[in-house]
Structure 1
Amino acid sequence: MLYSLLLVTVVLVTAAALVTGYIQAQWQTIRHEHGIETLTWQGLRLSARGVHLEHAQLSQRTRAGDHLEVELTGGRLAWKRLLAPWPAQRLTIEQLVVSWTPGTDSLVDDESTSLPNPGQLEAWLRQTPHRMDIASLHLALPCLGETCHEQGSLSWSRPGDSAYPAHLQLSLERGEHQMRLSASADDPGDHLEVLLQLSLDNEPRLHSRHQLDTAGDVLSWQGTLAMGNLPEAPWLLEWLGRWVDFDVSTVPTAPEAMRLGVSWSVELPEERLQQASGELRASLALPAPWPVPGIGLLAGELDLALTGAAGAWTPTGLTGDLLLQPNPNILQALPPELRPSSIRLQASPSPHPSSDQRLSLQMEALARGSSQIELRSDRLLLRALPFSLAFDDANLSLQAPGLLMSPARLDKLEVRARLRGQVDGSKLDLSALPGARLSIAEMAMDSLDLTAQGLQTQLAGLRLVADWQQESWQLQGPAQLSTATLGHPQLQGLSWHWQGQLNAQSTGLDLDGRLGNEAGLGASLLFAQRSAGDTRMELRLDEIFLLAGNPLARSLTAWPATLELNGGRLQAQGQLQLPVNGPLRASGRFSGKGLAGIFDRVEFDGLAAEIDLSVAGERLEAAVTHLEVAQMNPGFSFGPLRFQGRYQAPLEEPAQGRLSWGLARLQVLGGVVTITPGELDLKTWSPAQQLTLRGLDLRELFAAYPAQGLTGTGIIDGQFDLQRSAAGFVIEQGSLAAREPGVLRFDSPQIQALGRTNPAMQFVTEALENFHYQLLTGDIRYDENGLLQLGLRLHGTNPDLERGRPINFNINLEEDIPALLTSLQLSDRVSEIIQRRVQERLGSGAAPVRP
């Protein structure tokens, strides 16, 4: 007997352990599947009549990230029979606290959203307690950037074992005010009837009736909603202001007088809302502004009728006159100057009906603020849900006293345009028709130091596409721009015009086309600027034929006043990059062929050049790959000049750089002057440069030198050390020598007359009348004042004098070179332009220009 009792005990203990282990394992599985973090309870008592629970807490976190916390106090669940406890007779809760925080993935679009059909609803109701009461309900739910707390009570009832009639009442209280939602459902036999009523401080304010019926897989839903006066609006708006995005202080008056009426009759296949078909009518009257969450304050009247088929809803009637004060948050994509403070919309049936199912309307939109915007159309084609609006010919008018669109600042902007396009819930697509134009009194781009007055733009052919969801836009198409005056420190005040392709978008601006001005300058221009601030520009000048005039001189302020070009042709191109967080980068190429003209007091002809320019950060560089001047004439002709080299300088001091060269060669008076390849610092003008003269022909020198009666033959070579001081060029050491014997003849009546009166000079004059030299050397000095000192040593004979005995001469000569050049330039050896410039300088008392 004892052994049997012990065996039974062991079996029972083992079974209890197994059951306990199984329950624990199942509980862990349930916790993991439903994200239950904690579940605790106190004071749980079970009896034949029900369950009593003093306190319980639940914390749950779903896979979507939702966090739910529930705290229950004083819960009682009563049932009719212990063996059949559900559905329960009654559930009472003294206090229920619910806190919910949504996760980042909890809101997911679900296109299969459906309504429960009457059969499903009845089955669900039968599983609920016959009566439920929550005496104190506390809710902590997310609202505008914070957690909002609400408190109230909840009650539920249904008779006996039947699902209908069922009644629900939810009351929320704040201070002395109360909001109560009552719902009741009944099944008279062939359909389901639902009545909803919202009461404020025990006064019914909103009524809604619904009738649902199922025939096969189709749910028929008919209903009405009505709301009249709302004296409780002041405290109701303050209450709702914590939940929806509007500022109660902006409501000018409490909108107590209002009317809303909605009726519908729809059919939903398989209860899917997205596939609804039927009819809907709505009427709204708001005598005073009423806040619409997410949109703004709305006032006015609206009557709307819709017909739906398989989820596509088409308006069949629309009349309205609405005034909207938009919420600033929905206008952030617009520049501040274009954000309206009010928008008025008026709509009525159009006299031009549509051939399809879209509603044809006359519509006018007026936006008022710092800018004035008007849009009118006699024929707008409207389709709703999904929303769509199309128009073939609408008139747009925009006037803005000022507008800042980085990097440009605009004053007195005006747009007059006829438009064609369409707009829906995701996109806007507009095209400008012929006659569309834009004008700006003044535009300034401070980053480029650029201004434009009297800007006119032709908009025909431009297309604007905006994507609301992507928050992007693009304005693209052909455009024509012209300005009465374009201002820049480097430009003369002229009118300019541009024609080409415009591509402006939320990420930047691109211009590609032809640029020209009233001076006849033409170029192709590519301009690009990104929204981050980076700017890129490419400019290629049309080839300029200078016989027809010089448009560069008429266009550029930096063009030297003393430089005139009257022949040849020019070409130039350049690129500029201006990153917002980096140094300026620019490059360009200049080329000229057959150029002829005047620079200061020097005529030149046959100038050809190829020069590459670049700017990188704070450095300027110019590479002279080819420079040649066929002939120059400051009073006597010489040339050609050939040069190849490179120049580098700081951008802030462009004239204080370093010049290097590989070739520097000048032909003058039959000889050649060259400079040894080297480098020169223009800031200190060091080191001194050695000039070499080879092959100067005395015949050409005496032909150019204005000394009456002096002629001769011979070839001269020389070397000079050229330096520059603050006052001008200096030659401290220089020498020259005849390459071979030659002849000097000086036949001057004035000198001969001097010799007859001075016996010492008579021998000199007679010797120089036909002097055959075997040696000719000399020393040269040239000072800052332009004084040339030449010390000549001559060894030779005059065959006609004293039987050709040897004669040695030491002659010191001085010549004021600036004065000499001035005398040459007052003669007919140079053009009238140079003669006039010399005369003007002499007349003003200016000193001759030092070479």
Structure 2
Amino acid sequence: MSASPAVSSPLLRLLLRAALLLLALSGVLALAAVFFLDALARIVATPILADYGVRLQAIEQISLSRHQIRIANIRFLAPDSRDESLIKDLTLDFDPAALLEGRFQRLHIALADINLDSGAATSANTGSSSGNPAATLPALPPLATLVDTMQALPGEAVSIDSLRVAPYLEAGRLTVTRDARELRMLADSRDLQLDLRLNWQNNDTTSTVPEAINGRLLASVLDQNVLRSDFTLTETGSALHWDARSEWQLATLTDYLQTHELMPPALSALQGQLRLNTHLTLPTPDPASTPIVFSWEIETGSNASVAMADTGENPVQTLHLLSVNPTLGDGEFQWPADLRLNASAPALTLTLKLRDSDAPATLLLGLDSLSLNCQLPDACQGHQATSLRVPGFALPGITAEEVVAISNGDLALENGNLHMVFATGSRFELGKLQMPDLEIRQFNALVQDSLSVTDNGSGLLQLSSNGLDLVMPDIIQAGMASHAVAFMSELNGELSLEEPAASRIRSQVTLRNLGSDFLPLSLRMPELDLRLDMADHIVHTDGMLRLANRDILHVDNRLDLRSTSGHASINVSELAFSSGDGSLSTWFFRPPFNADVISGSVQASAELDFAPAEDGTWLIDGPLSVITRELSGFYEDTAIVGVSVSLQGELRQSRDFVSTAPGRIDIERIDPGVPVEHIGLGFDINTPATQATIKDITASLFGGTVSSPGLTYDWSAEENHLAVRIDRLDISRMLALAAYDSVQATGYISGNLPITLRGTTPSIGAGSLAAETPGGAIRYRSTTGNTGNPALDFVNQALSNYQYSLLDTTVDYRTSGELALAVRLQGLNPDVNNGQRINLNLNISDNIPDLLRSLQAGRSIADTLERQLDAR
């Protein structure tokens, strides 16, 4: 903080007196006019206004109604002025009862043209003491008296449409409103607008006037903010104290000053934002005889290009930053050879030309504090707290926007080497970085455990840190968004500013909060622990991917930065599943499917080469293999036990997969409502040919077997066909599963089912099933009794103890899920017609999906799966 010599401001006093004069004149004349019209008002008002130094010349055309007074013109001479002043079209609105107490509601003036003494104005502007002496203010009243005076003002609102105060104000407007605890003044002149508020709090217990006034002043130019000032007036002893916190927008202020030719000759432009804490002491009761004391300080966070000079006894010391080249990261300070500097530097703005850039870049550098202790010209040590903002810059192939660096720490300069240590809390922000195939938004780097940077002038920055957080919430490549947070420890290396890809960096990196549109899954606690080794344009990473605190897979990658191609080795050594925290569903916050794996294990490996494609995507090629051992879980309402898979193949161009060895699937049990056991098949996949070859299908069902030689499934074809053989299915097991209590049957059926697949939807046409010799028995107990239909009653009676020797069934199954069975029976019932042969033809239909849902209804898939696992 620095203090100026005492200052005296006649100009300020004259403007203040003009405002007080205008309010007093308007109020006195209006009140006088209520009781003494026209000439009589002049007689009464003239001696009253004389106490204010005002000489009334004329009051013209007074008209009075019940709630309003209008005066066409008031002509008068201001104190010490030789030129006539004019108030035109004055309108006073009032309530009669309140007016008798000396108060009115609103005062409106169309024109106020006030001429103050020009001689005093000249003296105030030039500082000359010749000629007429400058006008002086009366003694300043105590603050309590000032508050009491504002509360006692007779009007609630005063407005002036056009205000001129010569020689200070050419054209303006004024609005003043007041209530019990606040006074507000709105004024504008040409393109400048002012908004002043004063407020105070009465002491309700003692009814005394407070000793402090709070206020706010807002100034704007064409709706662009110039100044915001919050201030407080307090009184101690014989002085008023004004303390304010002000925020200036210097670019807008520059535009205003230049437009109206008010810019001081020593300045050409102001830029940035300046925050000032200001203190002003106004002596009372005689400000003319006692100096006014004024002091200020620049608040931390200011960012302005205004040069602040020390006005004390020491000579002005100027610190210049020259030869700045951020591409190389070097620069030099220039100062007098005998200067030993230990001071704080103000904010400044640098405009410089980046190498290989067509347009200059503006750097807004805020030096909150810069302390140096130098033994020139060889060495300097010090501490800095700075903020740097670059709105944007462009280099070939790179565009950056909103670059911000906020740092504090130590620095040392010795023999041309610059060494900086950025303390914990320093950070670097990047609004947007655009490259041909990559875009990064809202990047943030935060120093967690000091970052050491050394520049020896070679174009390489020596880096060292044990804690650096990199937040990357929006990484866009090939139209796909990704995000991650990286923590770097054990960081050591050399960062090349000329060619970043040629840098040499080693570090332990932990990536967390991983997510990408490539994997539209909500993973739980994804982390990737890597060892990073970058050298000779090659980036090598080796580490482990973890989900939900479990090691999932090991990755070993090499990326060539020159070709942006590389190789990845991926290995899942043995990943075991178990119920509870060891299940597959714990990998996700919201599993993308209604499924889970709760036992078994997976082993996988891949050796993949990757390179960028012309459309910006990645082309991935290489062999991979997957082996599962007895995986168990469920999908939707289907329990699955003991899935073992062997898959080997080759990924081609990211899109195709070709088997390189026969694949195999074995499933111990699938239970969608009907248990199917001991499923096995072989397979080969060839996606370029849109084919999957499935061979040697076998399964156990109802005590019999289901088999097929397989098919070559072409998913580009409209239909695919599969021949299925059924052998010795136990009819009694089928009925027991369906829980038909009224029917019992024995026997075995076999046959053939020709299945047509439209996509993955099956249908059967003219399938055939037949009972194995010697047949079986059917026992059916009708629940309806005698129906009154002789034919139906005979069938029910025949099936009550039917011994069949032939059971032939034609099977049709539609894509809608409707099953139609045409059953032909030959046999006898020994209890009917003396055992004569009875031939029956039955048609049975049902909806298989509905039947399976009914079989699944009422059971817990988790309990079903647990029972099946326990029974193994």
TM-score normalised by structure 2 residue count: 0.50
Cα offset, 1:449, TM superposition: 2.1
Aligned pairs for 1:810-825 within 5 A: 810-825=841-856
Q: Which residue of 1 aligns with 2:554?
A: 524
The correspondence for 1:777, drawn from 808, 817, 820, is: 808
Cα offset, 1:563, TM superposition: 2.3
Asked if 1:715 is matched to 2:748, the reply is yes
Cα offset, 1:719, TM superposition: 0.7
Aligned pairs for 1:673-692 within 5 A: 673-692=706-725
Q: Secondary structure at the match of 2:503?
A: strand
Asked if structure 1 preserves the Cα contact closer than 8 Å seen for 2:352 and 2:360, the reply is no
The correspondence for 1:663, drawn from 680, 696, 700, is: 696
C-alpha distance in 1 between matches for 2:612 and 2:546: 28
CA deviations over 1:460-513 (Å, ceiling 9, x no partner): 310121467887312211123333876655221655333221235683544322
Q: Secondary structure at the match of 2:717?
A: coil
The correspondence for 2:628, drawn from 592, 617, 636, is: 592
**C-alpha distance 527-558 of structure 1, shift in aligned 2 (>3 A):** farther
Aligned-residue RMSD, C-alpha: 5.0
Q: Secondary structure at the match of 2:489?
A: coil
Cα offset, 1:727, TM superposition: 11
Give 2:712's aligned amino acid: E
C-alpha distance in 2 between matches for 1:432 and 1:297: 19
Aligned pairs for 1:619-630 within 5 A: 619-621=655-657, 623=659, 625-630=663-668
Give 2:799's aligned amino acid: L
CA deviations over 1:84-103 (Å, ceiling 9, x no partner): xxxxxxxxxxxxxxxxxxxx
The correspondence for 1:729, drawn from 762, 780, 801, is: 762
Asked if structure 2 preserves the Cα contact closer than 8 Å seen for 1:304 and 1:319, the reply is no
C-alpha distance in 2 between matches for 1:330 and 1:365: 27
C-alpha distance in 2 between matches for 1:720 and 1:395: 74
Asked if structure 2 preserves the Cα contact closer than 8 Å seen for 1:635 and 1:830, the reply is no
Asked if structure 2 preserves the Cα contact closer than 8 Å seen for 1:286 and 1:300, the reply is no
Asked if structure 1 preserves the Cα contact closer than 8 Å seen for 2:328 and 2:498, the reply is no
**C-alpha distance 348-730 of structure 1, shift in aligned 2 (>3 A):** closer
**C-alpha distance 413-832 of structure 1, shift in aligned 2 (>3 A):** same
The count of residues paired between Structure 1 and Structure 2 equals: 523
Q: Which residue of 2 aligns with 1:514?
A: 544
**C-alpha distance 632-318 of structure 1, shift in aligned 2 (>3 A):** same
Asked if 1:450 is matched to 2:481, the reply is yes
The correspondence for 1:432, drawn from 461, 464, 480, is: 464
Cα offset, 1:381, TM superposition: 6.9
Aligned pairs for 1:33-72 within 5 A: none
Cα offset, 1:693, TM superposition: 0.9
Q: Secondary structure at the match of 1:736?
A: strand
Asked if 1:639 is matched to 2:677, the reply is yes
C-alpha distance in 2 between matches for 1:295 and 1:486: 35
The correspondence for 1:369, drawn from 382, 385, 390, is: 390
Q: Per chain length, whose mean CA-contact separation is higher, i.e. which structure has more relative contact order (CA < 8 Å, sep 6+)?
A: 2
**C-alpha distance 292-735 of structure 1, shift in aligned 2 (>3 A):** closer
Q: Which residue of 2 aligns with 1:604?
A: 640
CA deviations over 1:175-196 (Å, ceiling 9, x no partner): xxxxxxxxxxxxxxxxxxxxxx
TM-score normalised by structure 1 residue count: 0.51
Asked if structure 1 preserves the Cα contact closer than 8 Å seen for 2:557 and 2:568, the reply is yes
Q: Which residue of 2 aligns with 1:787?
A: 818
Q: Which residue of 1 aligns with 2:595?
A: 563
**C-alpha distance 431-830 of structure 1, shift in aligned 2 (>3 A):** closer
C-alpha distance in 2 between matches for 1:528 and 1:403: 27
CA deviations over 1:419-472 (Å, ceiling 9, x no partner): 4465434364634344x323426231323823226x3x4333101214678873
C-alpha distance in 1 between matches for 2:778 and 2:756: 34
C-alpha distance in 2 between matches for 1:669 and 1:644: 23
Q: Secondary structure at the match of 1:819?
A: helix
**C-alpha distance 339-537 of structure 1, shift in aligned 2 (>3 A):** farther
Structure 2: gaps of 5 or more residues: 1-267, 270-316, 392-402, 866-872
Asked if 1:702 is matched to 2:720, the reply is no
C-alpha distance in 2 between matches for 1:481 and 1:337: 36
**C-alpha distance 290-473 of structure 1, shift in aligned 2 (>3 A):** closer
**C-alpha distance 791-467 of structure 1, shift in aligned 2 (>3 A):** closer
Give 1:630's aligned amino acid: E
The correspondence for 1:409, drawn from 427, 434, 440, is: 440
Asked if structure 2 preserves the Cα contact closer than 8 Å seen for 1:296 and 1:325, the reply is no
Q: Secondary structure at the match of 1:543?
A: strand
Q: Which residue of 1 aligns with 2:165?
A: none
Give 2:542's aligned amino acid: D
Asked if 1:473 is matched to 2:509, the reply is no
Asked if structure 1 preserves the Cα contact closer than 8 Å seen for 2:610 and 2:620, the reply is yes
Q: Which residue of 2 aligns with 1:808?
A: 839
Q: Which residue of 2 aligns with 1:400?
A: 429
Q: Which residue of 1 aligns with 2:857?
A: 826
C-alpha distance in 2 between matches for 1:288 and 1:547: 69
Larger CA Rg, structure 1 vs 2: 1
Larger deviation, residues 484-493 vs 672-681: 484-493
Cα offset, 1:639, TM superposition: 1.3
**C-alpha distance 799-430 of structure 1, shift in aligned 2 (>3 A):** same
Larger deviation, residues 388-397 vs 511-520: 388-397
Asked if structure 2 preserves the Cα contact closer than 8 Å seen for 1:297 and 1:327, the reply is no
Aligned pairs for 1:735-754 within 5 A: 735-750=768-783, 753-754=785-786
**C-alpha distance 725-437 of structure 1, shift in aligned 2 (>3 A):** closer
**C-alpha distance 365-340 of structure 1, shift in aligned 2 (>3 A):** farther
Cα offset, 1:573, TM superposition: 5.0
Q: What's the % identity of the aligned pairs?
A: 17
Aligned pairs for 1:534-549 within 5 A: 534=565, 537-540=568-571, 543-549=575-581
Give 1:451's aligned amino acid: S
Structure 1: gaps of 5 or more residues: 1-251, 254-284, 306-316, 651-655, 835-851
C-alpha distance in 2 between matches for 1:667 and 1:421: 71
Give 1:774's aligned amino acid: S
Cα offset, 1:723, TM superposition: 1.4
**C-alpha distance 760-665 of structure 1, shift in aligned 2 (>3 A):** same
